[in-house]
Structure 1
Amino acid sequence: MLLYLLPAFLLTHTNGQIDPAHCRYPLGMEDGRIKNDDITASSQWYDSTGPQYARLNREEGEGAWCAAGQLQPSDVQYLQIDLRQLIFLTVVATQGRYARNSGIEFARKYRLEYSRDGHRWISWRNRFGNEIIMGNVNTYDTVVRDLHPPIITRFLRLIPVTDAVHTVCMRVELFGCAWQDGLMAYSSPEGQIMMAPGFPITSLNDSTYDGPLERRKLSGGLGQLADGVVGLDDFVESRQYRLWPGYDYVGWRNDGLGPGYVEMEFQFDRQRNFTSMKVHSNNMFSMGVKIFSSVSCVFKLHLISEWESEPVEFHTVIDDRNPSARYVTIPLKHRSATALRCRFYFADTWMMFSEISFQSVTIVLPTKKPPVLTPPSYEANSEIPETTQKTEDWTTPTKTGSPEEGNTSILIGCLVTIILLLVVIIFLILWCQYVCKVLEKAPRRILEEEVAVRLSSSSDTIILQTPPVPPRVSIDPPYERIFLLDPQYQDPAALRNKLPELSQSAETSACSGGYAEPDVTLCTPHQSFQSSAPHYAETDIISLQGVTGSNMYSVPALTVDSLTRKDISVAEFPRQRLLFREKLGEGQFGEVHLCEAEGLAEFLGEGAPLPEQDGRPVLVAVKQLRADATSNARNDFLKEIKIMSRLNNPNIIQLLCVCVSSDPLCMVTEYMENGDLNMFLSQREIESTLTHANNIPSVSIADLLHMSVQISSGMKYLASLNFVHRDLATRNCLLDRHLTIKISDFGMSRNLYSSDYYRIQGRAVLPIRWMAWESILLGKFTTASDVWAFGVTLWEIFTLCKEQPYSLLSDEQVIENTGEFFRNQGRQIFLSAPPLCPSSLFKLMMRCWSRDITDRPSFNKLHQALRTFAPHS
């Protein structure tokens, strides 16, 4: 008996955690390893367009699977694939119906449903909660989409989605590898939220869990503990996806659960013999987070049997010196089971896991006759067995010689085969990694010969072209990847030629504006926001920065020209009454000072826009032009005075007076006692009983909404005048003691925020993390780009300014990301939803970051929408 079972155990891989970056092998749609019987559909147009023809790069039948009739937006028709075993699915590739150049049908969008048991179907959503996957734009290109998060499944449905009536046809290939872990589901208490003074609000929920949540317990699904992503030492940081603090971990608080332990249950696909369990646990003990002190596991041999009484227990060594996250391996002593129930006991206030995996072998029961064990066949470069082969199916041997001799030779042959396979696989992996590194140094145009290597990368979207195409079909090549810091980037005109789509959209006017001042004679008057066909006022840049280094407001060139001819009188304030308090910042030709203005209230008279005095001096911001400034800088300074004098709104910093009768020229503006919004929020926590009990400075959600409404009101006013701010951010919003906000423009001049700006060679510094893609790529600043920046400002507010936007991206990566926004192929990185932010408000932010400027809401609509969130504002 032992002789028969031994080869079965040897042939079964010892399981371990999976690496999604390398689990990217074709599963067999194209090469036929997935059989016709395993490909079904809810419907089909004709027999010649049945599901068996939905194979990537194949032209059998009429060239693809086609849904029945013309697909309506409300229709649900699907292509279903049975993978015959649990698969860790990471990539989906699609084509349309090419049919040797006669097909014109393809799926522009689709969504996925999956099932591990064939009964309960789950809708896939990406890490942002979106179901829709962007598909093809023609019939011949292959569009490859990474799945974030990956799917653990046996059955998959591809469901075409359409916005209008279309005929839809598809060809597909799936990529992944076998889910050797065998884990079908785990259950656990719901993850909790950590709120600590001086620390960002950290959400430790299992955000990708695909089972139900009932009474604060997750059950019957899989999620982040089985996605192959291991958390960092600092649990606030995210390794890859940059969604919110704590995203990579699931965590629980000791006093939040009661019994002093976290109980988790694990269910498997079949009976297994368990060697060990590996738990990746955080150990940031300075925040009260430690690995578990001990664990106790009980086993269930069959799903219908009772839990065994004898547990396996393991005690850890608590580490108070090394804060690194680590894997803890728990020996399971070769216990057999189909389910485990484990209790993890707290060693401190918090316990956090990012990944749990099991090392086990499946138990293969022998047949009555001694079987000859045939190892699964593997394709080159593949870890996926034949999908129709079952691990229990073995061929019956013919008798030749004694049983002992036959079994010994079989055992030796199997061992040699396994060793050779391992050597080949290791060689192929190393060779592929070497080729990838070499090709990454080459220009990144996607070529046919790069297909195999590109499928092993971690990109979200790849377009592969199917050559050759007959000469009579005119096809534009895919866009070349743009290196935004190359010499062509320094010339906006050259870059605009690389982006033909943009030159035919909203950016077609002759004054569409690089960074240099345009020829005003070529420009036409700008339409108002409120016109019947909404049009954003394009800005013809006066200068990229104000002379003091601040980002002075810009307006359309014709408006500026008319302003410079008007004689706008501003009161001259006695220079000697300005008492220097602090230097706020400086620019190339000037400085910004914080000053006390003696007798300013009496000088300005009643109705002056000054804060309540209560016997305290009036603080003002004084922009001062250096005596050695050029004549052009002097003219720009006077121009800025005339522009500022026109602004009169309770949420806009107002020009109070000037000192221009003698040098140095000065303009005096409001300054608010609570300073800027960024500093104000970063020093506070969200209001709670904890903040009240410990006298911690705090703000409420209502306060944050009130601030958002005021900023939108001020920007609505600027937009009504066709003024474009170009540097909207919390650092440029000032507060008084009543939390009244006034939008300013001297954040750029302050050294405190120098890291928020990026100097492009030969250009002025730019706040790229707040800028719309068209502003970075083409120097186009419009009211629409201010809307984009407003969305980022909202994001800052609801993160309490605890981190910089795109904090995990370098400046160069931020700029590179703007190219992804232009290409709009699903690879762009968005800011993640702040934990404090209502979902409907985050949807409003996402609209502000729409790729097309006409899809972004106006400030008037933003102000109306935000007032519904804060009706008392």
Structure 2
Amino acid sequence: MLFYLLLVFQANANAQIDPAHCRYPLGMEDGRIKDHAITASSQWYETTGPQYARLNREEGDGAWCPAGLLQPSDTQYLQVDLGQLTFLTVVGTQGRYARNSGKEFARMYRLNYSHDGQLWRSWKNRLGNKTMEANDNAYVSVIKDLHPPIISRYVRLIPVTKMPTTVCMRLELYGCPWHDGLTSYSSPEGQLMMPPGYPIASLNDSTYDGAHERRKLSGGLGQLTDGVIGQDDFLVTRQYHVWPGYDYVGWRNGSLGSGYVEMEFVFDKQRNFTSMKVHSNNMFYRGVKIFSSVSCSFKPRLIATWEAEPVEFRTVLDDRNPSARYVTVPLGRRNAKALRCRFHFADVWMMFSEISFQSDTVIPTQITPVVTSPWPMEESSMPTTHKTVTNPSAKDQPDDGNTPILIGCLVTIILLLVVIIFLILWCQYVCKVLEKAPRRILEEEVTVRLSSSSDTIILQTPPVPPRVSQMDHPYERIFLLDPQYQDPAGLRNKLPELSRSAETSACGGGYAEPDVTQCTPHQCFQSSVPHYAETDIVSLQGVTGSNMYAVPALTVDSLTRKDISVAEFPRHRLLFREKLGEGQFGEFSVQVHLCEAEGLPEFLGEGAPLPDRDGRPVLVAVKQLRADATNNARNDFLKEIKIMSRLNDPNIIQLLCVCVSSDPLCMVTEYMDNGDLNMFLSQREMESTLTHANNIPAVSLSDLLHMSVQISSGMRYLASLNFVHRDLATRNCLLDRRLTIKIADFGMSRNLYSSDYYRIQGRAVLPIRWMAWESILLGKFTTASDVWAFGVTLWEIFTLCKEQPYSLLSDEQVIENTGEFFRNQGRQIFLFAPLLCPPSLFELMMRCWDRDIADRPTFEGLYQALRPHVVQ
């Protein structure tokens, strides 16, 4: 039983590592890394030995100092044994402060690492630089992100100097255990893609740290294990200042002399493999597809031969959805220390960005030691293979000394099992509570836990720490992720200025700054009119189950069937075509299907908002609630139908009819032939002589302005009803054949746009790149925050959706940037001006991103400003 439970815990730990979350201190400061695990090439004195190289600690003489003056040619090092393979993402360093008596520090250092303590590798960043900047005084902590991260057990910090000097260092390492167990992979080198009309994409494994000979990579790790997931468009990268295609390793069909790519994977010990996850690009209209099949062979030991019977898996190819995705390959619980997998091509190109494995460590079978039984036993009753010779004089006497010990051991084991079972049940209960927690609490937790992911973070500790309150310097310290950091409310405890701002802005409803003492925070939030705090709104899930609208609770008081102003449509006339997406409606899931509605134009009559289908069946989107939903979920669904049925604007997606006379409850909405605006624009170029001559799909500046006006018109209508959309973006704007735009909410439910949302517990919930600072930091959604998102949507339109907003920033850096908007000290990063955008229009975008809510334009003002630019 105990062994089984340990296997369960082990299996749960084998998850794909996310570098943005894998930032936990590994134990230098708090002592979990013991003194014997910290060594050095030399030390100046006994009191400056390596055991004193602990960040923010002052034992001994305050730091590790190598012997003598450090010369530019010296290679002195501080070595840390982490005890197991570790995914290392961050390094923090300090000099020797020694209670204001020290002044030694290292201005630069290099980092070497090793899996086994024998073969050492040098870390280098994504541009090939091996040296990292460190400290410029003895007391400031400097935190450096490792881009790329490394997988290692042993780490050496090597101080670097340009002139002879005395150097001392303190250190902390951040990361998390590497449960994958993979120590190296081998593969053909990535290749160069030179398509006509597109940028050249270099699909090599640029961070690979093994041998590179004869176009073969061997004995190392690289981009396939760095935790960076490639985007749907392989030319768009998540890293700074790198070339197109950087996030993927890719190969061309036929270039390897076979129809497959062969890769070998070596692990730290023999493992029992459950599955392999391969993140693969599927941009099929560019000749890229996931692999058609894979065959994996196994070796129980490195010196053994490959087993004769491989595991084979055939994938289901997808020619409709170009989203990159993980493909999970079951490995049949096979035992091995090495795998060889052959990935077969399905098209011209095959591209991977990550490969991970789910496995358990194989515990070798051991012979049970022979012990003398503590109870009297007849010699003939004992198995002959375990016959034990005992002292004849003691044979007939019970061993009174061992019996209580054995009973105590049994009782201890039983109590241990009870405790483990209790912990499992408690964890399941906590998980359920977290799943039901309000989204606002989850958002606050993300804001706290991800506040320190920028490339370089300086943690200032003044030379003589004065006694000042946090109120005086609320932003001097930015906190790294820490296992103890579990309280979502901690954000406002750590950042009191943010708490005061929350109360002040709530009291003023986003427009005034009255005295905070005039009302309590609870009263303030309830007085925010006409903008609604989340405590005052009903969240409408929209046609896909994501959050589309937020409306005043007073509009959905009592509800009966007569309140629904659309007709009941015969369910049997809805013919399923494909699944569009799925989402959550309260505790119950909803699904969205693309259907054909037979006879819908005749059913709705004249004036129905339906496209001209030339006699073909009408395509509609059907949102369906599960039949076993509770009464509360059903009532919420009907309330949504009531409010959606009253929305009537040419630029808002319209509810056409419902099926609510029987289960499952359904609502039927418009479906637009031209898809969403993001996909539409990303496949086009600006109109020019070249596009006309080569018949390239194109749009004009007039088209872009017309689209902008339509979106502002639809949002003006919602704002007039005090509706808050909360997810305005080009992915949520649908087009018909005449380029008429209707605002909807399809984006969150579709895999194609999953990277646009920041994920919490595996669910896409926060479109942070489109969100105003007050929405991320305070959980406050208003019409003014929709204006912010409208500015980002304009930016998307005038970049033809060729890249994601803030594409050079990681999700965590985007969240950090919202803190700069709040602090308003001139360090916030704005989106750049698109080349196609007139200066006056970019100025309008900048007004949408004003830090002060009251200074942002209204949708009425935006509509009036944009309308004159459209040719009537």
TM-score (norm: length of structure 1)? 0.49
